[in-house]
Structure 1
Amino acid sequence: MAMLYMPSSFPAADLEAWFKPSARSAREQALSILDRLHILASKREDDRSLSYSLIPGFQRSLRQAIEGSGTHRTFGVPASKAESGGKRLGIEFLDQHARQQWEGILFFMVSGAAGFQPGSVRMDVGPGTKKLLHAGDLVRTVHGTPKITKEGFSFVLQETNAQVWNLLIVYLKMVNDLGMSETEVLSFLFMLGSLELGQDYSTSTLSPTQLQMLDDLSAMGIVYRSSKESRTFYPTRLATTLTSDSGALPGSDIATSEKPDHKAQKKGFIIIETNYRLYAYTNSLIQIAILSLFTKLQHRFPNLVSGKLTKESVHRAVQAGITSAQIISYLTTYAHPQMQKSNPPLPPTVMDQIRLWEYEGERVEVTTGYLMREFGSEAEYRDVLGYAEALGVLVWKNDASRCFFISHVEQVAGYLKKKKESKGR
């Protein structure tokens, strides 16, 4: 940064004065990295002394980024009064939009496995977001119902900032398939992290790729755009905290008719007895859905649900890909303050029994079926695999080896026969 506005090169002798003699290797390594990244250049002066200077292109771009000058609009372009219509949305509305969209995604992930009926809670999860969750292997569709995976359960337990970045990383991996530029996608994401919450920004300077991103990110609650034709957009708290360690959605909860007790949920709300009975002081549908993944829930009150950890409920969770370590970690993280006074917070007998139930559930099970392999092409493999998955007969697959295992072969064999006959005509 000291070199950014220097009119001349920076002498190497002055640079060496900044470092201790013991840090010489670290200095040389840093200089080598900056040189390979085309950030720093070295040259010999007339007196044969060595000096350093920033690459002109990098120096110019960094100046513009810091000053907000130039035409690249690193920090976005605030909307004019004509574009915004003279009205600006409040931060409370933006937080509500972000919370509703993001928690709708989380509830979509856990609701299927938890047994919630479609439509029991208002969820606005678009097809693009669902495709993203499937691409990240966070959920899988089984008989038309989304089921959370082991990776999905780990995802749900993370902080909101980590969840957002994990989903955005999946999004980045898909940009080539979507016909988008990786550079523009990354540039736009970092720009969002520097925007001001509550300020509306113009879409006039955005590229086609970034305009497409607005629709995708709006569905996730990262930005708000009233319609595809709107000339402005608002970053939500999910966007403005992308490059910070601030909480993205403090006190988040699925919208319910009851007022959620965020303070209680933040400090822990689960009590477990040595007889495996569980009491959770919460009215959050997300938390209730997560608990139901590995607990047999029995009663629900306005601010309390009760149930029991059973062999069957833990086996069901294990079959869904959830491990005993994840269950214990979740229960420990959200243990009631009274339980947190003990070390460990959970009764040792409960933790041991959860592990034993997992071991029992991991015993080998024999499934009668048929192994499909030796496909002529990747397209043929994907086609037949998709047909088997749609029928609900797919048991296991290995994309790398182009083979999969199905429980029934009759309809799949008929499908292959028809395809062969159609090619022969």
Structure 2
Amino acid sequence: MSSSNLFKATVNEYLEGLPQTVQSKLYEAPATCLSIYRLLPPMAKFYIMSMLFNEQPVVLRDLDKWCKPMAKKMQFDSLKRLKSLHLIEEDKGGNHIRLHPTFRKNFRNCLTGSQESNAFGNLCVTTDKHKVDIEFLDTFASQKWETILHFMVGTESTATPSSSVLSLLKSGGLMEGPGTSPKNLKITKTGFQFLLQDVNAQIWTLLLQYLNLTQDLHMDPVDVLNFIFVLGSLELGKSYTVSSLSETQVSMLADLKDYGLVYQRTDSSGRFYPTRLATTLTSDSAALKTPSMALEQALEASEEGAEQPAAPEAPAGNQGTVIIETNFKLYAYTNSPLEIAILNLFVHLKSRFTNMVCGQITRESIRNALYNGITADQVIKFLETHAHPQMKLLAKERLDKKIEFDTSHNINTAGGAPQSQAISADGSVAQHKLEILPPTVVDQIKLWQLELDRIQTFDGYVFKDFANQQEFDTLWNYASETGVLIWSDKNKRKFFVTKEGFSQVADFGNRRLPRSRG
């Protein structure tokens, strides 16, 4: 697709592309097993936990009984992920599956506390005479990371990133230019997309590029990945000994320090500290609280003191600043040059005040963003992520009213029993979702992109020549439920599925249809 996302939001796709032998080596490290588990979707986690302490292989058909019919797509995606990572293995007949033995052993040791003492790093037993607390680590990490972003977006900055960072930005296609001089580097279309990613996705983008260069740096990629996963499992604010690291991991400390992932007072220091950028790599914790975010939070606090409507509480460092009206006017309560420069990528800014900028989303401003490689979904996601807490509160109130109305309406029309298809497993109305941004704004941004995306192409396979209508309906329903169906013609008994979904639909047909063919 022309508007496909060029970035890997997580490391999963990178892991899936590794050879099976390399994946097996990764599973020898307990910290890697735990991190990979944390990166999996919920249903994949459920399958792993169901088989972890079960000594017997699981019948493949029984997996269909473990989830509701409406969750077929989730089941398909989860099994696809587990198979790609070779976390589950099938027997020769393809009727039974079991967990990868090395992963099963080491992950079970993690849960029971039976892993080796240094599996998650060695804490320093001596006290550091230099005071290093969480506040100091957050400041250090945010300064390092914002230096990179400021340099990319072209705002004035007090420092220039290190040569290793500049080399990584250039080799990753985020910036381009002749030579190695910082003055010659300019941001690319890929770099514009990078700026709209959340912090974790941005870090993984650089780390994945770093992994691609491990061979040129004569480093073991398994050792590099294991250390990254170990960092994601360490405790923020604690110091760890360098002596327990391998030679490859010690050489990584200088690079990771440039990215703001670890703090080491000197290159020869015997201890290092993981920062919040590192400890949240594989978790759902809030992103790093940068100085600009802290300033925005202070501005909001002053606004509340001025008897303005109180905004709902949000996790530290995750306070939004953007308000959008149905007439496409945008207000951002910030004076951060970095955030203003990012907004300028897709907003026509008109006025700037001490603590606020005003602008408007227009057809031209969105088109300029699209020409720079930014997609409509990325713009919408950025605006939702940075939406003011008051917008999120109002959206939640509207959703609650819709759910309450539809639930009472279903009870009245169904003779005292709510319609099951309208109520999801968590009790909310399935067809409703939280709409933080005005629907008119979201729809119009997508329509402006469709003006440029006249044709979309998909790689996949056509199913045809069915023996009877029942056979067609069985496979068509399964493809639709798993979300791999792209096109269908029921009159001609044909349908088209994605390239990834072909094997799943074919396997399902081989298991379910032989009896009906007679």
TM-score range, shorter chain: 0.5 to 0.7
Q: In structure 2, which of residues 253, 267, 279 is the aligned counterpart of residue 214 of structure 1?
A: 253
* Displacement after TM superposition at 1:315 (Å): 4.3
Q: In structure 1, which of residues 264, 269, 292 is the aligned counterpart of residue 322 of structure 2?
A: 269
Q: Structure 1 residues 295, 213: closer, same or farther in 2, change over 3 A?
A: same
Matched, 1:284 2:336: yes
Matched, 1:352 2:433: no
Q: In structure 2, which of residues 142, 154, 159 is the aligned counterpart of residue 99 of structure 1?
A: 142
Q: In structure 1, which of residues 143, 158, 161 is the aligned counterpart of residue 200 of structure 2?
A: 161
Q: In structure 2, which of residues 197, 208, 218 is the aligned counterpart of residue 179 of structure 1?
A: 218
Matched, 1:78 2:123: yes
Which blocks of at least 5 consecutive residues in structure 1 are unaligned?
Answer: 1-13, 41-51, 363-425
What amino acid is aligned across from residue 269 of structure 1 in structure 2?
V
Q: Considering only CA atoms, is the larger Rg found in Structure 1 or Structure 2?
A: 1
* Secondary structure in structure 2 of the residue aligned to 1:297: strand
* Displacement after TM superposition at 1:225 (Å): 0.8
1:180-195 aligned at under 5 Å gives the runs 180-195=219-234
Deviation readout 1:255-311 (Å, 9 max, x if unpaired): 89887547877245232462x543222223322111111233232212100234455
* Displacement after TM superposition at 1:204 (Å): 1.9
2:373 aligned partner:
321
1:89 aligned partner:
132
Q: In structure 2, which of residues 252, 276, 290 is the aligned counterpart of residue 252 of structure 1?
A: 290
State the Cα RMSD in Å: 4.7
Kindly indicate whether the alpha-carbon contact (under 8 Å) linking 2:173 and 2:190 is maintained by their aligned counterparts in 1.
yes
Q: In structure 2, which of residues 173, 188, 199 is the aligned counterpart of residue 137 of structure 1?
A: 173
Q: Structure 1 residues 262, 197: closer, same or farther in 2, change over 3 A?
A: farther
Q: Structure 1 residues 221, 21: closer, same or farther in 2, change over 3 A?
A: closer
* Secondary structure in structure 1 of the residue aligned to 2:218: coil
Question: 2:61 & 2:293 partners in 1: Cα distance?
Answer: 58
Q: Structure 1 residues 300, 146: closer, same or farther in 2, change over 3 A?
A: farther
Question: 2:203 & 2:266 partners in 1: Cα distance?
Answer: 23
Task: Tell which deviates more after alignment, 142-151 or 185-194.
Answer: 142-151
* Secondary structure in structure 1 of the residue aligned to 2:382: helix
What amino acid is aligned across from residue 305 of structure 1 in structure 2?
V
Kindly indicate whether the alpha-carbon contact (under 8 Å) linking 1:318 and 1:358 is maintained by their aligned counterparts in 2.
no
Task: Tell which deviates more after alignment, 177-186 or 132-141.
Answer: 132-141
Kindly indicate whether the alpha-carbon contact (under 8 Å) linking 2:242 and 2:270 is maintained by their aligned counterparts in 1.
yes
Question: 2:348 & 2:292 partners in 1: Cα distance?
Answer: 22
Question: 2:107 & 2:363 partners in 1: Cα distance?
Answer: 61
1:372-391 aligned at under 5 Å gives the runs none
* Displacement after TM superposition at 1:23 (Å): 3.5
What amino acid is aligned across from residue 293 of structure 1 in structure 2?
L
2:349 aligned partner:
297
* Displacement after TM superposition at 1:243 (Å): 3.1
Question: 1:291 & 1:270 partners in 2: Cα distance?
Answer: 12
Higher RCO (Cα < 8 Å, 6 or more apart): 2
Q: Percent identity?
A: 38
What amino acid is aligned across from residue 134 of structure 2 in structure 1?
I
* Secondary structure in structure 1 of the residue aligned to 2:151: helix
* Displacement after TM superposition at 1:140 (Å): 3.4
Question: What's the TM-score once normalised by structure 2's chain length?
Answer: 0.50
Question: 2:183 & 2:224 partners in 1: Cα distance?
Answer: 32
Q: In structure 2, which of residues 269, 272, 284 is the aligned counterpart of residue 233 of structure 1?
A: 272
* Displacement after TM superposition at 1:179 (Å): 1.4
Which blocks of at least 5 consecutive residues in structure 2 are unaligned?
Answer: 1-53, 66-78, 90-97, 302-310, 312-317, 399-434, 455-518
Question: 2:343 & 2:270 partners in 1: Cα distance?
Answer: 43
Question: 2:385 & 2:440 partners in 1: Cα distance?
Answer: 15
Task: Tell which deviates more after alignment, 172-181 or 262-271.
Answer: 262-271
1:306 aligned partner:
358
Aligned residue pairs: how many?
Answer: 321
Question: What's the TM-score once normalised by structure 1's chain length?
Answer: 0.60
Q: Structure 1 residues 227, 135: closer, same or farther in 2, change over 3 A?
A: same
Kindly indicate whether the alpha-carbon contact (under 8 Å) linking 1:150 and 1:323 is maintained by their aligned counterparts in 2.
no
Q: Structure 1 residues 57, 236: closer, same or farther in 2, change over 3 A?
A: closer
1:392 aligned partner:
none
* Secondary structure in structure 2 of the residue aligned to 1:168: helix
* Displacement after TM superposition at 1:324 (Å): 4.0
Deviation readout 1:368-421 (Å, 9 max, x if unpaired): xxxxxxxxxxxxxxxxxxxxxxxxxxxxxxxxxxxxxxxxxxxxxxxxxxxxxx
Kindly indicate whether the alpha-carbon contact (under 8 Å) linking 1:136 and 1:170 is maintained by their aligned counterparts in 2.
yes
* Displacement after TM superposition at 1:205 (Å): 2.8
* Secondary structure in structure 1 of the residue aligned to 2:319: helix
